[in-house]
C-alpha cells in the first residue's frame, strides 16, 4: 500500500480495504469515540481519546459511589477489579498476580527501580532515548548510592546498540533499563534482543513500555524483562491516573519496596511484618476504583479489537503522515530507527515546535511538543531543542492526516 495521503475520491475504497486487511471497523471505532466530533486528535502518545465503554464504566462506578458509598461500591466491584488484573495479564502474556495496579507509569517504574538492591560501584546501563523521569532516578541513585550510569550509544539505525550492550556487560552491572518507545520519536527499540542479553548475563532488565503498551503487542516472555511499567492513558485509551507494573513472579521475591502500607504488607506482630506476595507488594491500599475499572475496560477493548490490528493500522497511518510531511518545504521528519511506530516527530524551518503546536491547537488539531529536557541524551546528540510530536491511533483517518498536513504547510 503506498505511503501517501489518499485522494478524497479513494477514501471509501481504501477504508474498505483496510477493514478487510486488518480486521478493524474504523466506522465503529469512531462511533465509539465521542471526542472525534470536536478535535483531530494527534496526541495519543500524551493521552488518547477514550472510547465510550471506558467513559461509561468510570461514570457508572462514580455514580454507585455517590449512591451507596465508596467502600461499599468498591466491595460490590470486586469482580470488575479482578477483571482488570486479568486483562492486563492477558495483554502482557503473564499471570494476574504478576501485575500491580498503580496511579501512573512513573509510579510503577519508580516502584520497581527503587526496590532493586543497587550498591556503590554497580553500573546501570541504559539507552540514548531514555526519558527524563527515569534518568533523574538514575542520577538520584548515583548521588545517594554511588552507582554509575552508562549510556549505550545508538547503532547505525538510530536505535539501542545491542552489540555494544553485550560488550559492556560485566559482573558489576546491576541493571539494564530501556525505554521501549521514546517520548520524542517513532523509534521502537529492540527490547527483546536487549532482554536476551540481560537474561543470559543474569542482570535485571527493567522495560519502560509507557509509549508502547496498546500500540505494540507485548509478551513479557519474549521480551525477557523482569519488570515492565506502563500507563493506561496513552495508546490503551484508559483514564488518566492509571498505570501498572509487571514483575516476574520469582523475581519479585528478591525485591524490597521502598515503601509499604497495610495493603502491600501485613503487620504480623509488634515488631514484624510480611510483604505481600508477588507484584502486589508494590501497590497501596487507597486507589481510584473507578479508574481501575476503566483501565480494565480499556485493556479489554484493545484486546477485543486486537493489538496486532491496532499496531498495523497505526504504523500505516504514521508512515503516510511522514511521507506527506516530507513533501512540505522546510519540514524535516525527525524519526529514526529500523522499526517505527505511530509517533511522528518533525520540525519546520522558521517556526518553533511550541508555536506550531499552539497554532494547530487553535484549529482543533491536537499535537504535542517534544522538548530537550525530556530526552536530553538524544536531543543533545542531535542538537535539537523542540520537535512537534503528532501521534496517530487506529481511529484516526486519512482525512484528518490531510487536515494536519495542510495546517502545517500553511504560513503563520
* Long-range own/partner contacts, residues 49-52 (CB < 8 A, 24 or more apart): 49/237, 49/393, 49/395, 50/237, 50/238, 50/239, 50/294, 50/298, 51/237, 51/298, 51/301
Give Cα separations from 159 to 154, 164, 191, 314 (angstroms).
Answer: 5, 12, 10, 20
Whose CA is closest to 160, among 378, 315, 348? 378
By the 10 Å C-beta count (0-12 exposed, 13-18 middle, 19+ buried), 238 is classed as buried
pLDDT at 22: 58
Fold of 56-304: 3.40.640
The CA distance from 102 to 285, in Å, is: 10
Whose CA is closest to 242, among 20, 57, 14, 25? 57
Residue numbers in the chain where pLDDT is lower than 70: 1-22
Residues 408, 360 contacting (CB under 8 angstroms): yes
Residue ranges, comma separated, of all CATH 3.40.640.10 domains in the chain are: 56-304
The CA distance from 89 to 100, in Å, is: 10
The CA distance from 282 to 113, in Å, is: 11
Residues 113, 206 contacting (CB under 8 angstroms): yes
The CA distance from 346 to 186, in Å, is: 11
pLDDT 10s digits, 66-82: 999 999 999 999 999 99
Statement: 8-49+307-409 belongs to CATH 3.40.50.720? no
Residues 135, 109 contacting (CB under 8 angstroms): no
394 Cβ neighbours under 8 A, 6+ residues apart: 24, 26, 29, 305, 309, 310, 313, 314, 317
Say how many Å lie between the first and final Cα of the chain, rounded.
33
The CA distance from 215 to 159, in Å, is: 19
Residue ranges, comma separated, of all CATH 3.90.1150.10 domains in the chain are: 8-49+307-409
Largest CA distance in the chain: 75
Amino acid at each position: 500500500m503506498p505511503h501517501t495521503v489518499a485522494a478524497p475520491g479513494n477514501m471509501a475504497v481504501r477504508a474498505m480495504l483496510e477493514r478487510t486487511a486488518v480486521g478493524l471497523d474504523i466506522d465503529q471505532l469512531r462511533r465509539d469515540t465521542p471526542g472525534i466530533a470536536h478535535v483531530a486528535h494527534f496526541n495519543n502518545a500524551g493521552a488518547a481519546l477514550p472510547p465510550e465503554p471506558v467513559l461509561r464504566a468510570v461514570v457508572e462506578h462514580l455514580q454507585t459511589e455517590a449512591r451507596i458509598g465508596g467502600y461499599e461500591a468498591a466491595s460490590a466491584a470486586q469482580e470488575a477489579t479482578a477483571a482488570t488484573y486479568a486483562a492486563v495479564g492477558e495483554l502482557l502474556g503473564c499471570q494476574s498476580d504478576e501485575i500491580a495496579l498503580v496511579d501512573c507509569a512513573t509510579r510503577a517504574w519508580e516502584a520497581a527501580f527503587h526496590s532493586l538492591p543497587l550498591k556503590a560501584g554497580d553500573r546501570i546501563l541504559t539507552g540514548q532515548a531514555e526519558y527524563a523521569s527515569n534518568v533523574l532516578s538514575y542520577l538520584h541513585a548515583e548521588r545517594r548510592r554511588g552507582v554509575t550510569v552508562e549510556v549505550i550509544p545508538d547503532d547505525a539505525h538510530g536505535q539501542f546498540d545491542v552489540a555494544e550492550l553485550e560488550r559492556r556487560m560485566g559482573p558489576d552491572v546491576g541493571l539494564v533499563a530501556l525505554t521501549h518507545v521514546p517520548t520524542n520519536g517513532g523509534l521502537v527499540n529492540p527490547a527483546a534482543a536487549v532482554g536476551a542479553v540481560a537474561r543470559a548475563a543474569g542482570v535485571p532488565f527493567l522495560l519502560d513500555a509507557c509509549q508502547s503498551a496498546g500500540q505494540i503487542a507485548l509478551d513479557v516472555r519474549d521480551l525477557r524483562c523482569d519488570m515492565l511499567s506502563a500507563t493506561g492513558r496513552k495508546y490503551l485509551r484508559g483514564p488518566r491516573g492509571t498505570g501498572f507494573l509487571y514483575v516476574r513472579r520469582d523475581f519479585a521475591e528478591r525485591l524490597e519496596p521502598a515503601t509499604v502500607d497495610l495493603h502491600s504488607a501485613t503487620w504480623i506482630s509488634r515488631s514484624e511484618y510480611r510483604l505481600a506476595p508477588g507484584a502486589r507488594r508494590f501497590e497501596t491500599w487507597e486507589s481510584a476504583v473507578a479508574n481501575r475499572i476503566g483501565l480494565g475496560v480499556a485493556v479489554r477493548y484493545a484486546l477485543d479489537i486486537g493489538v496486532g490490528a491496532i499496531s498495523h493500522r497505526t504504523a500505516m497511518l504514521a508512515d503516510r503522515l511522514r511521507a506527506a510531511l516530507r513533501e512540505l518545504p522546510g519540514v524535516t521528519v525527525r524519526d529514526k530507527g529500523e522499526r517505527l511506530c505511530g509517533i511522528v516527530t518533525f520540525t519546520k524551518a522558521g517556526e518553533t515546535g511550541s508555536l506550531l503546536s499552539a497554532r494547530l491547537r487553535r484549529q482543533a488539531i491536537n499535537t504535542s511538543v517534544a522538548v530537550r529536557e525530556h530526552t536530553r541524551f538524544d536531543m543533545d546528540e542531535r542538537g535539537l531543542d523542540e520537535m512537534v510530536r503528532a501521534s496517530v491511533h487506529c481511529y484516526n483517518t486519512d482525512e484528518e492526516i490531510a487536515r494536519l498536513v495542510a495546517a502545517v504547510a500553511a504560513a503563520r
